[in-house]
Chains A and B, each alone.
Chain A
Amino acid sequence: MARVVTMHSYRGGTGKSSTAANMALLFAAGGLRVGVLDTDIQSPAVDAIFGLEPDPSMCTFADYLVGRCEIEDAARPVDGMDLFVVPSRAGLTAINEIMTSGYDLGLLNEAVLRLTASLALDVLIMDTHTGINTETVTAVAGSDAMVIVTRAHRLDLAGAGESVALADRLGCRQRIVVVNMVPEGIEDGDLVPRVEQAYGLPVAAVLPYVPAMAGPDGAHVFVTADPGHASAAGYHDINALVMSDTVCRLPS
């Protein structure tokens, strides 16, 4: 049975998609069969992170939702690995249709089931649009783990309560908090207690701000190419918790 993981962030730009991509690479490098389903129809990112060329003739998640193709046809293998990426959309046609006519929410759940079965996945990571929306709620409800990616900024932390309440309401027991893009000079000792207080959860990883990722040529997928990178250990920790049966909680 595949482990299903949903990425979530209360605000945008926290590095949710990059984290998902690096987690996926690490899982695949560890010999697991991994899928990444980009449900962020509004602002897709995963395909670009993996360097997949946009191709309007290819099937995507949005095309599947509007009935233009089957979800299995949307999975694109990443060279040399048991890693499959399902782009959310290519071009605007499908999103126009979704915005005007909508789609059946049950198809998201069905996509998860069909992808994990047809690709024999061990792990499926779902990237989502920022904040709380239909896709996120549905994805979280069907997930084994929810990875909350936040920055250290107080505006990000302000949404902590909502993110946890969402997981509570939807019965997703394993919530993993990752503090990402932490600027140089902020000590973990100052940061971590504040984040843990905000979320009521232990912080699984603190990942530093990487200027190289922020530039126009920023490479978001690096953990396997640069295993010694400062962030690599953090991704390992996140993945271990994703696969763990021990639920993250603060020591009482």
Chain B
Amino acid sequence: MTSVLVLDDDSPPPALRRALAEAGVRVRVHSPADVLAAERIPEVDVLLASAAVPPNIVRAVARRMDEEGWRPTLLAYTEHDFGALEGHVHGGADYLMPPFLTSLVRARLGTCHEQAELSRALRLAGGEADLHRYERELEIGREIQLGFLPDSLPTPAGWDIDVRYRPARTVAGDFYDVFELVNRRRLGLVVADVCDKGVGAALFMALIRSLLRHTAEHGGVHGLKSVDLPGDARSMPVAGAATLLNAVEATNEYLTRNHVHQGYFATMFFAVLDPVTGGLVYINGGHNPPVLIRGDGGAPLVLDPTGPAVGVLRDSTFTLGHAHLDPGDLLFIYTDGVTEARDPHRAFFGEDRMLDVLREGAGSGDDLLRRVDGALTGFVGTAEQSDDITMLALHRTGP
């Protein structure tokens, strides 16, 4: 049924009221002041305004209705002052004049109703087109972001590397990277989590990943300050250590110098592996401690932070951690999307549950990730994934 709102400070003419009643439409009569003051306006297809109401007031009322999503067709009427219609017609309104015969009024209102519906449909289609465009842009963003992750993982003989990467949204703030360093004698491994989620985090992911990797790969001659010679007088620089420190310090310096006001930072675990010896030198910048699972069943070792998150404070101090992987050992590196996954009752998966799965033994890296993934999926159930999830397993398979 067509809904008609008659806009008139007085009562509409009796002939018009009678025709409206007989036309089978839903009619309400209000003054402009009433409509503008109303908190909510029910559906309106036709705004039937007395020509005595100034056109700008009619337009204000129409805008108010637009805001509610009704987009009524404007129809001005008069009984005597035909000249008053002109201002309304110039403003885009249709018009209605005596005689107010029921059939004519019904026909005109029907046309106006169709026009209102068409107008609403067009707007809806326009909104969907916008939405479609945004989704397409986001999809492009996702594809570009995937390009910031390694195509393939360089895997030296005697080692396996497996990864699971599941963004909570189309784009993510998590990332991982694996690349060769020191003339292919070392392997750089990064798992990082940019604070926040979505597009902002994804933009900073692209920046931080590029800064880290570019600095690591093109460090040049490294300053002696960065290799931390004495205190312990005979502590010698190990290959990759200066690269690691330079990359993390330079990234921290860049972020805090140029982007501190945007409030984005990243926790990260960046390790340099010697595939020949199993030696690992790392920086844990405020990141969830990776777990080193011993192949011989010994107690797992957690690799605690050696510095703060990257991008928070200028002149932060990052120190080097050292670990060693024997044949059979497996290093599990993850982001907080694992431990902070929530079940439908909003409870966290937590470190204890994760460690329970890890303590069941390593097996292959892929097995381990599958088991953690399975435990996570079972725990989360029907709840929505709340954060990006990244897991990397570095497994020493051979001597």
Co-complex (A, B): yes
Q: Does B222 sit at the interface, judged by CB under 8 A? A: yes
Please give, as numbers and ranges, the residues of chain B lying within 8 Å of A102 by CB-CB distance: 219-222
CB-nearest residue of chain B relative to A140?
B229
A138 engages B237 (CB within 8 Å) = yes
Between B183, B240, B242, the greatest number of chain A beta carbons within 10 A of the residue's beta carbon is seen for: B183
Q: Does B15 sit at the interface, judged by CB under 8 A? A: no
Q: Which size bracket describes the interface of B in this complex?
A: 20 to 34
Q: Which residues of chain A (80-110) have a CB below 8 Å from chain B?
A: 101-107, 109-110
Q: Give the complex CA separation of A109 and B234 in angstroms.
A: 11
12 new A-B contacts at CB < 8 Å, known A67-B185, A106-B239: A67-B184, A101-B218, A101-B220, A104-B239, A104-B240, A104-B243, A105-B221, A109-B238, A141-B233, A142-B234, A171-B233, A171-B234
Q: Does B224 sit at the interface, judged by CB under 8 A? A: yes
Q: Does B378 sit at the interface, judged by CB under 8 A? A: no
Please give, as numbers and ranges, the residues of chain A lying within 8 Å of B242 by CB-CB distance: 104-106
- A106 contact from B227, B230, B234, Cβ within 8 A: B227
Please give, as numbers and ranges, the residues of chain A lying within 8 Å of B183 by CB-CB distance: 66-67
CB-nearest residue of chain A relative to B182?
A104
B240 engages A137 (CB within 8 Å) = no
A105 engages B227 (CB within 8 Å) = yes
Interface of B is mostly: loop
Q: Give the complex CA separation of A153 and B195 in angstroms.
A: 63
Q: In the complex, how many angstroms separate the beta carbon of A248 from the nearest chain B beta carbon?
A: 17
Q: Give the complex CA separation of A90 and B342 in angstroms.
A: 62
Q: Does B241 sit at the interface, judged by CB under 8 A? A: yes
Q: Give the complex CA separation of A101 and B181 in angstroms.
A: 13
B237 engages A106 (CB within 8 Å) = yes
Given contacts A138-B237, A141-B236, contact A103 B221 (CB under 8 A): yes
Number of cross-chain contacts by CB at 8 Å: 69
Query: A-side interface residues toward B, CB under 8 Å?
Result: 66-67, 101-107, 109-110, 134, 137-138, 141-142, 169-172
Please give, as numbers and ranges, the residues of chain A lying within 8 Å of B234 by CB-CB distance: 141-142, 171
CB-nearest residue of chain A relative to B235?
A141
Please give, as numbers and ranges, the residues of chain B lying within 8 Å of A109 by CB-CB distance: 236-239
Query: B-side interface residues toward A, CB under 8 Å?
Result: 181-185, 218-222, 224, 227, 229-230, 233-234, 236-243
B229 engages A170 (CB within 8 Å) = yes
B237 engages A171 (CB within 8 Å) = no
A142 engages B182 (CB within 8 Å) = no
B229 engages A141 (CB within 8 Å) = yes
Please give, as numbers and ranges, the residues of chain B lying within 8 Å of A141 by CB-CB distance: 229-230, 233-234, 236
Between A105, A138, A141, the greatest number of chain B beta carbons within 10 A of the residue's beta carbon is seen for: A105
Q: In the complex, how many angstroms separate the beta carbon of B217 from the nearest chain A beta carbon?
A: 10
Q: In the complex, how many angstroms separate the beta carbon of A80 from the nearest chain B beta carbon?
A: 33
Please give, as numbers and ranges, the residues of chain A lying within 8 Å of B221 by CB-CB distance: 102-103, 105, 134
20 A-B pairs in the complex with CB atoms less than 8 angstroms apart? A66-B183, A101-B218, A102-B219, A102-B222, A103-B221, A104-B181, A104-B222, A104-B239, A104-B240, A104-B243, A105-B239, A106-B227, A106-B236, A107-B182, A137-B224, A138-B227, A141-B236, A170-B233, A171-B234, A172-B233
Please give, as numbers and ranges, the residues of chain A lying within 8 Å of B236 by CB-CB distance: 106, 109, 138, 141-142
Q: In the complex, how many angstroms separate the beta carbon of B99 from the nearest chain A beta carbon?
A: 94
A106 engages B233 (CB within 8 Å) = no
Please give, as numbers and ranges, the residues of chain A lying within 8 Å of B240 by CB-CB distance: 104, 106
Please give, as numbers and ranges, the residues of chain B lying within 8 Å of A138 by CB-CB distance: 224, 227, 229, 236-237
Q: Considering the complex of A and B, which 7 residue pairs feature the smallest CB-CB distances, nearest first?
A: A171-B233, A67-B183, A106-B239, A102-B221, A102-B220, A109-B236, A106-B237
Please give, as numbers and ranges, the residues of chain B lying within 8 Å of A170 by CB-CB distance: 229-230, 233
Please give, as numbers and ranges, the residues of chain B lying within 8 Å of A172 by CB-CB distance: 233
